[in-house]
Structure 1
């Protein structure tokens, strides 16, 4: 029995290893979430500036083992950031996105399976400016920013995107 548990733990670690190597270090450091039962909806993370809550649930279905959604947190909330579809935005560090959070949720009834949610944040364009003047200051000039905004080169608000994958071995049954 003990060898079986060790084999499961090693297999889970080896299956998750390639995705761990590919991810940049997230801004938020967190441990693995508490294991969740099949069918139990749970909040993964709340993002107040986007008036959004990330919600998930294990389904118990082999073809779609985990359901994931971005849900509005309150009808009265005024967002200061916007959620975009990760499949369309294709967030990456090269495109100015920052890996904000990496959430791992184990399946309580299947020890070899976990849901992995990656939350990406894209700050405002002017916050990414790296050019400094002769005095070492970053300067923002109203006329230049106005022209960039009119040309559609600036985001109006910071952006968030979240992607989900299920890692590990599927369970039978």
Structure 2
């Protein structure tokens, strides 16, 4: 009997070790009620907001979407589909954020959003203020020559964890 508890802990270790340490650490969010749309995270450089809502329906218990913050915003980063990008640290991605949102109507259930970021080495000279500047004419000439610089990318994945309530 004394051997069973340590063996169970060892079996559970891979589940805890699955995620690397995120760049941003935060506690779990406040529990959210069914039908209430809430912002999970804003990413200004991608002109995007990640929002979600518990639906209270068994078929689709949580809705999750990346929405544009403003039509006038000029993105300096891009959101890509998680399943197509397959982010991993080996591929140059960084585990950026882990967001946990418990359900108010079912405390044993929570939405877990994992956000990955793929930085780009700009390699551009900085000015006296420490800023990297992009000049319109130079950028147009580079684009015409087919030398468009890479931009940072983000990918987000949502999973439900915990036991569903009846």
TM-score normalised according to structure 1 size: 0.72
Contact 1:39 1:58 in 2 (8 A): yes
Provide the aligned length of Structure 1 versus Structure 2.
Answer: 135
Give structure 1 regions of 4+ aligned residues with deviation exceeding 4 angstroms: 16-19
**Separation of aligned partners in 2, 1:108 and 1:88:** 32
Gaps of 5+ in 1: 1-15, 128-145
**Aligned partner of 2:159 among 133, 147, 165:** 165
2:102 matched to 1:106? yes
Query: Post-superposition shift, 1:62?
Result: 1.4
**What residue in structure 2 maps to residue 95 of structure 1?**
91
**Separation of aligned partners in 2, 1:163 and 1:77:** 24
**Aligned partner of 1:124 among 114, 120, 123:** 120
Contact 1:124 1:155 in 2 (8 A): no
Root-mean-square deviation over aligned CA pairs: 2.3
Aligned pairs for 1:1-173 (under 5 A) are: 19-125=15-121, 156-172=150-166
Question: What SS does structure 2 have at the residue aligned with 1:94?
Answer: helix
**Separation of aligned partners in 1, 2:43 and 2:26:** 15
- Larger helix share, 1 or 2: 1
